[in-house]
């Protein structure tokens, strides 16, 4: 073979070998993911959109035009995906039974939101809904985001937005690389290592719980300023349920480190909320374990609920606030008049 041909062949062989290796890694990653999780495209596409001050959103519920207040008692719901997935019909039915009057629901909960984002949502959009009652369901996302970022004040997707704003070239590269399940798998392993390291940090648990309570208090200040009662619900978590059903025992997507961190953080959140004075008209409900005594499948996964779970949760919440002296007030006449 002529030297010139040999010089051209060697780089070609190297390129073909490199491409073949990449294809094998990508194909292997996809086969493993398919075998472990089935068909899915999570992390291969993004539904979230940028929202000023809130960073991201999953829908446009905050832009809905609500008519001026009339007779129905209007409940504003805030929180993450567990609150967002709560069927309005179940919430309405539960409160109608307690209030003995018509109820309408404004659900502004957004998947992945932490309490910092919920208080911004309340200030920017919740006030315009003219609610008669505010219900927030939070806790899990604040624990998980603290574990993912190491900073309780940052949602986990802050890194993507920071990359897009401050590093547009690298963001374009990452946008291409995220189409690879092999790259996603490697990145997930790196994230898992960071999570496991942070999971053993008691200072991070304390910081996450302290920031959570601080944000809750900020939301309660807004509620009191509106002269609107607020129900703060610390949300359920599967691994705090002692009598899991057979179906619930099969959920195994969360690592032991994550379970311990979330459990510890929720427990510290409860301790702090139980001892803090949140002010008149603000009712705290500990709903970490509301399902003891029922044999129903209450969890759809580690944190989201089934319809049966939501029904039990709502019964627990209403019983707790009624024991605390909560009674619905007549709809605000100033709200009716648009003042």
Q: What is the per-residue DSSP string for 199-244?
A: TT-HHHHHHHHHHHHHHHHHHHHHHHHTT--EEEEEPP-GGG-SS-
pLDDT of the chain, 339 residues: tens digit per residue: 556 566 667 777 777 888 888 888 888 888 877 777 666 555 444 556 778 888 888 888 999 888 887 778 999 999 999 999 999 999 999 999 888 888 999 999 999 999 999 999 999 999 999 999 999 999 999 999 999 889 998 887 777 777 777 887 887 787 777 778 788 788 888 888 888 888 889 999 999 999 999 999 999 999 999 999 999 999 999 999 988 999 998 887 788 889 999 999 999 999 999 988 888 889 999 999 999 888 899 999 999 999 999 999 999 999 999 888 888 766 554 433 333
Enter the tokens of residue 91.
């919430």
Exposed/middle/buried for residue 231 (C-beta within 10 Å: 0-12, 13-18, 19+): buried
End-to-end CA distance of the chain: 90
Phi, psi (rounded to 5 degrees) for 169? -70, -50
Instruction: Pick one of 3.40.50.300, 3.40.50.1110, 3.40.50.40, 3.30.420.40 as the CATH number of 49-147+201-337.
Output: 3.40.50.1110
Its pTM stands at 0.84
């Amino acid at each position: 073979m002529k030297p010139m041909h040999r010089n051209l062949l060697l780089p070609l062989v190297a390129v073909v070998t490199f491409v073949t290796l990449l294809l094998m890694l990508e194909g292997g990653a996809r086969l493993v993911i398919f075998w472990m999780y089935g068909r899915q495209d999570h992390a291969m596409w993004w539904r979230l959109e940028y929202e000023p001050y809130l960073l991201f959103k999953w829908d446009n519920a905050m832009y809905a035009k609500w008519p001026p207040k009339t007779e129905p008692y209007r409940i504003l719901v805030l929180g993450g995906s567990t609150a967002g997935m709560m069927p309005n019909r179940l919430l309405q039915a539960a409160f109608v039974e307690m209030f003995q009057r018509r109820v309408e629901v404004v659900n502004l909960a957004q998947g992945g939101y932490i309490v910092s984002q919920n208080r911004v949502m309340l200030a920017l959009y919740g006030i315009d809904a003219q609610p008669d009652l505010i219900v927030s369901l939070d806790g899990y996302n604040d624990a998980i985001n603290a574990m993912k970022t190491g900073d309780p004040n940052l949602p986990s997707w802050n890194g993507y937005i920071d990359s897009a704003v401050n590093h547009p070239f690298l963001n374009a590269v990452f946008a291409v690389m995220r189409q690879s399940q092999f790259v996603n798998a490697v990145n997930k392993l790196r994230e898992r290592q960071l999570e496991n390291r942070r999971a053993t940090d008691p200072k991070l648990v304390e910081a996450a719980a302290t920031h959570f309570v601080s944000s809750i208090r900020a939301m309660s200040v807004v509620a009191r300023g509106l002269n609107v009662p607020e129900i703060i619900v610390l949300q359920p978590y599967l691994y705090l349920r002692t009598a899991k059903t057979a179906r619930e025992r099969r959920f195994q997507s969360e690592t032991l480190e994550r379970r311990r961190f979330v459990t510890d953080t929720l427990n510290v959140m409860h301790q702090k909320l139980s001892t803090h004075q949140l002010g008149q008209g603000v009712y705290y409900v500990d709903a970490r374990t509301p399902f003891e005594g029922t044999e129903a499948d209450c969890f759809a996964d580690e944190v989201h609920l089934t319809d049966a779970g939501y029904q039990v949760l709502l019964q627990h919440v209403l019983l707790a606030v009624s024991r605390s002296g909560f009674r619905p007030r007549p709809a605000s006449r100033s709200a009716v008049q648009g003042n």
